[in-house]
């Protein structure tokens, strides 16, 4: 099957944005990050959107944003960790899951990075969220890559998969 876009999913802090940027460079594709687009359109940080308008409103922005972004083709799209849980990812997207352990995520994220994520503030709540979501990420993805590796290895694995399947 020919896909329109590559959509990266995975829990907060799994590395979707870093992998997405590197992959886009490698494939000469445009990179877009759903959270960044939402923040720019709302002129507000994710934290402020959660605080002032609530999570449900944020989820509706995510669905609208992924629908609009996928009107175009040939992009690498990084999603927020909750997007595939609450929104339908349009068909003809090649979904790649960046599969990370919760403890590895916590270890890797700086305090600043943690503070940008309202749902990571309470560690036990975040761990429960991770446990609830992990199977869905794996089921939705056509391909999962282990987050425990260096960016060039990711790119290599994803690139091989794409070439193998002649997908983009």
Kindly give, in sequence order, each residue whose CB lies less than 8 Å from that of residue 30, ignoring residues fewer than 6 positions away.
Answer: 24, 74, 75, 76
Show the binding pattern over residues 70-109: x = contacts ligand S3P (CB under 6 A), - = does not. ----------xxx---------------------------
DSSP class of residue 76? E
Minimum distance of ligand S3P from residue 163's CB (angstroms): 27
CB-wise, 36 or 142, nearer to ligand S3P? 36
CB-wise, 38 or 94, nearer to ligand S3P? 38
Binder of ligand S3P out of 118, 151, 165, 167 (CB under 6 A): 118
Sheet holding 75-78, edge to edge: 30-33, 75-78, 5-9, 93-99, 143-146
| Residue with tokens 């944020």, as numbered in its chain | 58
# residues contacting ligand S3P (CB under 6 A):
9
DSSP class of residue 99? E
DSSP class of residue 91? S
Q: Which chain residues interact with ligand S3P by CB under 6 A?
A: 12, 35, 46, 80-82, 117-119
């Amino acid at each position: 099957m020919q896909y329109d876009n590559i959509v990266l999913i995975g829990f907060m802090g799994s590395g979707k944005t870093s992998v997405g940027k590197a992959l886009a460079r490698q494939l000469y594709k445009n990179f877009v990050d759903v959270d960044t687009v939402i923040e720019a359109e709302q002129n507000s940080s994710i934290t402020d959107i959660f605080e002032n308008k609530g999570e449900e409103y944020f989820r509706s922005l995510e669905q609208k944003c992924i629908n609009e972004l996928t009107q175009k083709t040939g992009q690498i799209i990084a999603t927020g960790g909750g997007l595939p849980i609450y929104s339908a990812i349009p068909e003809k997207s090649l979904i790649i899951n960046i599969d990370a352990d919760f403890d590895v995520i916590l270890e890797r994220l700086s305090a600043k990075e943690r503070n940008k994520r309202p749902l990571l503030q309470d560690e036990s709540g975040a761990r429960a969220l991770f446990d609830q979501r992990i199977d869905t990420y794996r089921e939705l993805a056509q391909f999962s890559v282990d987050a425990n590796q260096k960016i060039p290895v990711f790119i290599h694995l994803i690139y091989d998969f794409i070439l193998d399947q002649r997908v983009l």
